[in-house]
A and B are shown apart, each in its own frame.
Chain A
């Protein structure tokens, strides 16, 4: 009897402990996500308005933002939905717009695998903003890494779904002029850029990124420049592997990814 009591008490304590951990991770993720919240809600409203104009009500906005969850591609989707059905064109468009995401997963191969049941969701929800946020955020040791990452990803999507659905329902009632609010995303990337710059032991990857981005933009133009830019950046990162690894000894000790922090956590 006593044993059972103790077990029950232990169980209760575990639950309580879980909730505390959960709350901590959620609070951490919420604060980190605020810039994305602003950007996603207002960009989502813009999408909802467009979809409403195309004759699709809020149920469509909700389902699209829940299943597709892609910024630029959703705007293109509205025009695809307004024309006749063309599956090959839809496939080509989606891949050409979203193919930059192919590169993003490379930075989280090990980390996401350790996320258990959340693994497929983490892959699904890897947008530009979530990628940048996950790369740019140092999660302190007292916060559960996996929970914080999952919450960051899921909160981001919830803001997007809310914005899209709200925009479709009530977007036309928003009287406040939101022109320019999309700059929040640019500002988010600049902030992460600076954080990474200040932490980095070598700035060569950053120089490579800036150079490839600008040169590709000038050569190819704003519409299709990002894939050539990323491909060129990867090429140059390989060419300069030796000097980059030399200036950052952490890299040489094989397979350095964010996952290493977690491994330490596991051992502890």
Chain B
């Protein structure tokens, strides 16, 4: 691929990504959005965050304990720490470090 071609491909990806992110604003941004759109916008984050958690765990498979146990233990640690201390950094840091230790040393 030539330099020009590479630049074109990158530009296409950049433009399409921006279009995807901008579409709702292009459709509903000008005037007052319909009630149903405002309603969806207000209740959607709760559902999206739930879907994103599933999305992060999408490649976990249940054929072997080694494949799913670390992720689920780390999720449990993150959630437990957060319910207990309510400190984002502690929950995220703690969960991530435990996950790294598990997959690098314990479940190899």
Interface, chain A (partner B; CB < 8 A):
32, 34-35, 38, 56, 60, 63-64, 67-70, 73, 77, 80-85, 87, 90-91, 94-95, 98-99, 101-110, 112-113, 123-124, 126, 128, 131-132, 135-136, 177-181, 183-196, 200, 205-206, 208-210, 212-214, 217, 222, 225-226, 229-230, 233-234, 237-238, 241, 244-245, 251, 254-257
Interface residues of B (CB under 8 A from A): 1, 5-6, 8-14, 16-18, 20-25, 28-29, 32-33, 35-59, 70-71, 74-75, 78-79, 82-83, 88-89, 91-93, 95-96, 99-100, 102-104
Answer whether A191 and B88 are a contact pair too, CB < 8 Å, given A68-B14, A132-B52.
yes
Q: Is the interface of B mostly helix, strand, loop or mixed?
A: helix
Contacts of A124 in B (CB 8 A): 18, 21-22
If A90-B9, A181-B96 touch, whether A196 touches B52 (CB-CB below 8 Å) is: no
Q: Which of B20, B24, B95, B99 has the most chain A CB atoms inside 10 A of its CB?
A: B20
Pair A238/B14 contact, Cβ less than 8 Å: no
- Would you call A177 and B104 a contact (CB within 8 A)? yes
Is B16's CB under 8 angstroms from A135's CB? Answer: no
Cβ-closest 4 pairs across A and B: A209-B50, A209-B47, A213-B54, A105-B24
SS class of chain A's interface: helix, strand, loop or mixed? helix
**Is A241 in contact with B39, judged by CB distance below 8 angstroms?**
yes
- Of chain B, the residue at the smallest CB distance from A199 is B46
Complex Cα gap A119–B62 (Å): 44
A190 contact from B9, B43, B79, Cβ within 8 A: B79
Q: Tell me whether B41 and A102 are in contact (CB under 8 A).
A: no
Decide yes or no: A135 and B49 within 8 Å by CB, A77-B13, A255-B35 being known contacts.
yes
A102-B23, A234-B47 known, 20 other contacts, Cβ within 8 Å:
A34-B88, A35-B92, A38-B92, A63-B10, A83-B1, A98-B16, A101-B17, A178-B100, A179-B103, A183-B100, A186-B95, A189-B49, A189-B56, A194-B82, A206-B46, A209-B46, A209-B48, A212-B51, A225-B58, A255-B42
